[in-house]
């Protein structure tokens, strides 16, 4: 408990204290300027898009990894963990190398919102895949076969049988991806450029010495993250039982 | 669910193309750019004093943070799963442990400045005694510990719950002290969980940028880690990424791919153990 407080709790409390140090009115003022507001909005929209694409593609990848068989599957499976292992700054750099200026494939996304979304998709890829995969493994084939024998089409049996079973896992994976996207810094630091997202704005505030503004935006961001964490725990409780 | 051969193949193709565009190709390009002027030139960039010192600092931070968080993680998991603390207390601890996962690294850096920095809650006391935490290595250590804190707890707690406490009780009835029980019974049964947690902690500690960047003074040769070196060089050259940046990135990537291999190994062991 002491270890937790020393390293985690006291510092976070200090951020909240700093944010409200000159009254709640000032807190609101520092958020209610266009830059901070727009940064928050961009961050939320980008994170929602990332969670959405991540949910669809993550489920698809998990499906292929569980139900399909092809040579090299074990390698692909190991590859999924790459974003967790690879330092985020390297992730950002790799994306600049491929999709930036001097791109060998001729796609220049650098310093656009598209680049931010690609970077976030990269770092959050494992969340949905790794949460859907075990559920899909456990899923009984028999129910699906029964549905098919009763004349259900592939689409119907996916929608009525497979998807409901996977839904909690998809949601919790997507929520984790969303939470990670809200606060992500490393992978977007190099490629965000003029795209103002919350973590970059906070960093710029700290660098220029306006700790008050940084703390205010931080408190809002932490509050959003806590809400996601809370929803996650509710979902987790349902998945667990 | 019966899927036609064509649908199976197209799903497989979509998944593989998505993964190669997102993961494989970008990483391959970085390796390619590193060695485009030959191995010798890449090697000379990796052995400049700044790069060598950054590599050592990166490893040093991981070597301090990993053991600390391993000891804390196993202890906290024991408290959460085996402890006799009241339920509410455990629930709070459980939720708090996830905080470093959901709080932005940049905010973590800011938090440390506000507490241990100049004018911060404890910072002035430390500074008065000649101990500099923020914009120095100790602050970077604390930041690394903070961001990599939850991994061991999160890996060990489920394993601990899964193995149950019958064997521990048996050991206790046979007269083992609780210390002996822990070393001889509990620890061996959770070892793969611990190992996987340690690997994840190491990966995060090696690669952390946001929190460490904020509390570092960013001086090459003393307070730059490899990720910070990449960030700084990239800023200096204004996005025109040079071979020296790619070389540092390759060095980090090689470290982390080693970590990934360990991860795959220990990951499958923990799956089997469950």
pLDDT for res A28: 66
Q: Is residue B40 part of a domain?
A: no
Looking up tokens 């995969």 gives A133
pLDDT for res B68: 92
Decide: B146 and B108 in contact? Cβ < 8 Å: yes
pLDDT for res B236: 64
Give me the mean pLDDT over the A108-122 stretch.
84
Tokens of A11: 């510092």
pLDDT for res B237: 59
Q: Is residue B68 part of a domain?
A: yes
CATH of the domain at A47: 1.10.3720.10
What predicted TM-score, i.e. pTM, was given to this entire model? 0.84
Give me the mean pLDDT over the A145-170 stretch.
83
In A, which residues are within 8 Å of B108 by CB distance? 11
Q: Is residue A101 part of a domain?
A: yes
| Domain co-membership, B98 together with B148 | yes
Task: Point out the least confidently predicted range of A112-116, A185-189, B167-171, B263-267.
Answer: B263-267
pLDDT for res B71: 92
Half-sphere exposure of A79 (CA within 13 A, CB side): 20
Q: Which domain holds residue A58?
A: 23-134+168-240
User: Given pLDDT bands bounded at 50, 70 and 90, which one contains residue A240?
Assistant: very low
Structural domains in chain B (count): 2
Question: How close B9 gets to chain A, by Cα (Å)?
Answer: 9
Structural domains in chain A (count): 1
How far is the CA of B27 from the CAs of A123, A227, B19, B35, B143, in angstroms? 13, 34, 12, 13, 27
pLDDT means per 10 residues, chain B with 274 residues, are 77 87 82 78 79 88 92 90 81 81 87 82 76 83 90 89 86 87 88 88 89 81 82 66 79 84 74 51
Between chain A and chain B, how many beta carbons pairs sit less than 8 Å apart? 253
User: Given pLDDT bands bounded at 50, 70 and 90, which one contains residue A22?
Assistant: low
Q: What share of chain A has pLDDT > 70, as a percent?
A: 84
Task: Point out the least confidently predicted range of A75-89, A90-104, A216-230.
Answer: A90-104
In A, which residues are within 8 Å of B208 by CB distance? 87, 186
Task: Point out the least confidently predicted range of A120-124, A204-208, A211-215, A229-233.
Answer: A229-233
| Domain co-membership, B18 together with B142 | no
Radius of gyration of chain A (CA): 21
- The closest of B252, B259, B262 to B30, measured between CA atoms, is B252
Asked if A162 reaches chain B (Cβ–Cβ under 8 Å), the answer is yes
In A, which residues are within 8 Å of B106 by CB distance? 183, 185, 199, 202-203, 206, 218
What's the pLDDT tens digit per position in A33-75? Answer: 667 888 888 898 999 999 999 999 999 999 999 988 888 888 8
pLDDT for res A104: 66
Q: Which domain holds residue B161?
A: 48-273
């Amino acid at each position: 408990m002491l270890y937790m407080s020393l390293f985690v709790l006291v510092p976070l409390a200090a951020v909240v204290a700093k944010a409200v140090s000159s009254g709640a009115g000032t807190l609101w003022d520092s958020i209610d300027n266009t830059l901070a507001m727009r940064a928050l909005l961009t961050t939320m929209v980008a994170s929602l898009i990332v969670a959405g694409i991540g949910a669809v593609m993550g489920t698809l990848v998990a499906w292929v990894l569980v139900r399909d068989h092809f040579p090299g599957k074990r390698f692909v499976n190991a590859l999924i963990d790459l974003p967790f292992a690879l330092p985020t700054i390297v992730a950002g750099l790799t994306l600049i190398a491929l999709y930036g200026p001097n791109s060998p494939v001729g796609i220049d996304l650098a310093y656009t919102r598209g680049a931010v979304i690609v970077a976030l998709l990269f770092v959050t890829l494992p969340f949905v895949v790794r949460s859907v995969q075990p559920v899909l493994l456990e899923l009984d084939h028999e129910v699906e076969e029964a549905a098919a024998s009763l004349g259900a089409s592939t689409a119907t049996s996916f929608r009525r049988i497979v998807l409901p079973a996977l839904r909690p896992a998809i949601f919790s994976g997507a929520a984790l991806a969303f939470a990670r996207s809200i606060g992500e810094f490393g992978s977007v630091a190099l490629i965000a450029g003029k795209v103002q997202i919350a973590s970059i704005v906070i960093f710029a505030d700290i660098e220029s010495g306006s700790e008050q503004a940084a703390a205010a935006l931080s408190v809002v961001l932490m509050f959003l993250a806590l809400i996601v964490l809370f929803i996650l725990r509710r979902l987790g409780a349902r998945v667990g039982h | 669910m019966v899927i036609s051969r064509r649908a199976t193949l197209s799903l497989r193709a979509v998944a593989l193309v998505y993964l190669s565009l997102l993961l494989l190709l970008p990483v391959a390009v970085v390796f390619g750019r590193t060695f485009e002027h030959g191995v010798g030139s890449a090697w000379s960039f990796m052995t400049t004093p700044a790069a060598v010192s950054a590599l050592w600092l990166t490893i040093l931070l991981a070597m301090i943070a990993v053991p600390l968080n391993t000891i804390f993680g196993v202890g906290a998991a024991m408290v959460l799963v085996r402890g006799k603390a009241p339920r509410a207390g455990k629930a709070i601890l459980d939720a708090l442990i996830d905080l470093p996962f959901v709080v932005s690294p940049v905010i973590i850096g800011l938090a440390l400045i506000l507490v241990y920095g100049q004018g911060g809650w404890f910072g002035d006391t430390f500074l008065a005694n000649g101990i500099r935490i923020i914009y120095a290595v100790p602050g970077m250590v604390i930041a690394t510990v903070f961001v990599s804190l939850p991994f061991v707890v999160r890996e060990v707690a489920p394993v601990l719950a899964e193995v149950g406490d019958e064997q521990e009780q048996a050991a206790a009835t046979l007269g083992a002290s609780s210390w002996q029980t822990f070393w001889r019974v509990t620890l061996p049964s959770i070892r793969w969980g611990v190992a996987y947690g340690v690997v994840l902690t190491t990966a995060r500690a090696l690669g952390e940028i946001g929190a460490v960047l904020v509390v570092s003074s960013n001086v090459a040769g003393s307070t730059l880690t490899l990720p910070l070196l990449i960030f700084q060089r990239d800023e200096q050259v204004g996005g025109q990424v040079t071979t020296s940046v790619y070389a540092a990135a390759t060095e980090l990537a090689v470290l982390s791919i080693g970590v990934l291999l360990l991860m795959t190994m220990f990951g499958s062991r923990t799956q089997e153990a469950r």
